[in-house]
Amino acid sequence: MKKFTLLLGLFVVACSMISAVYVHKGYHVGDVAEDFSLKNIDGKMVSLADYKEAKGYIVVFTCNHCPYSVMYEDRIIELQKTYGAQGYPVIAINPNDPAVQPGDSFEDMKVRAKEKAFNFAYLFDEGQKVFPKFGATRTPHVFLLDKSRTVKYIGAIDDNPKAADKVEETYLVDAIKALQAGKNPEPSFTKAVGCSIKIAK
């Protein structure tokens, strides 16, 4: 028993050493995302479970102020038009603390959603509890989940933030199409430049 305790102790020490080198931040592809309940711009609380007919979920961490988010607004509206109708709704979440980032308050979100006629839920991560669970680090940052909330793709919408007409790789659309075909997206993880998430001080 003593030996076992010692081994267990060593194991714990070894694990903590490993985690000091590589810190697991949020979900990886293959993890099952926890559902959440966040306030939408219409004042109603929204959960993934509310989408009874969903075959999957396009969770996008985005915001008002970030120019990269703004450049993708029209593309996110198009995604909702096309893939929302096919059972893959867009759920946008603003992860920023408005006290740190002017322009990203709940009221500002309502204004922007109206201006751009957002056709998707635009939720406020009040208290900043949800984005760390996902491991979102920037805006925009996409997490594509399947019906059972398993994370299937993490990353960018496509490979050209500046010019939608010069996109060569439609990462997110390809990932959705893979799910529709019963396959795993490839690539399942991409990176993009974006604005850091503004955290409460």
Partner 1 sequence: MKNLLFSFLACFFAYTSSGQSTPIKVYHSFDEMEAAILKHDNDTTYVINFWATWCGPCVKELPYFEAAAAAYAGKKFKMILVSLDFAEQLDKKVIPFVKDHKIQSEIVLLDDQQANKWIDRISPEWSGAIPITLVYQGEKRAFYEKEFHSVKELEEIINPFFNN
Output 59 or 156, the one with its CB closest to partner 1: 156
In the window 126-145, what residues touch partner 1 (CB under 8 A)? 137-138
Minimum Å distance from CB 193 to partner 1? 5
Q: By CB under 8 A, tell whether 192 contacts partner 1.
A: yes
**Does the CA dihedral 91-179-23-49 come out positive or negative?**
positive
Q: Write the CA distances from 169 to 11, 78, 186, 190, integer angstroms.
A: 43, 16, 12, 11
Question: Quick one: which of 62, 80, 188, 190 contacts partner 1 (CB under 8 A)?
Answer: 190
Q: By CB under 8 A, tell whether 195 contacts partner 1.
A: yes
Give every strand in the sheet of 151-155, ordered side by side.
45-46, 38-40, 121-124, 90-94, 56-61, 141-146, 151-155
8, amino acid identity? L
For 122, the enclosing helix (H) or strand (E) is strand 121-124
Q: Is 67 in the site for partner 1 (CB under 8 A)?
A: yes
* Nearer Cβ to partner 1 (85/193): 193
Q: Considering the complex, what minimum distance in angstroms separates the CB of residue 170 from partner 1?
A: 12
Judged by CB, which is closer to partner 1: 122, or 171?
171
Query: Total residues contacting partner 1 (rule CB under 8 A)?
Result: 25
197 scored as a contact of partner 1 (CB under 8 A): yes
In the bound state with partner 1, the residue whose beta carbon lies nearer, of 26 and 87, is 26
Strand partners, 143: 59, 154
Between residue 79 and residue 118, which ones bind partner 1 under the rule CB under 8 A? 101
Binding residues among 146-185 for partner 1 as defined by CB under 8 A? 155-156, 159-163, 166, 168-169, 171
Q: Look at residues 137, 176, 125 and name the one whose alpha carbon lies nearest to residue 153.
A: 176
Q: Determine, following the binding rule CB under 8 A, whether residue 193 of this chain makes contact with partner 1.
A: yes
Residue 48 CA to residue 150 CA, distance in Å, equals 12
Chain position carrying tokens 């060569």: 168
Q: Which of 182, 197, 22 is nearest to 100 (CA)?
A: 197
Contact residues for partner 1 (CB under 8 A)?
66-67, 101, 137-138, 155-156, 159-163, 166, 168-169, 171, 190-198
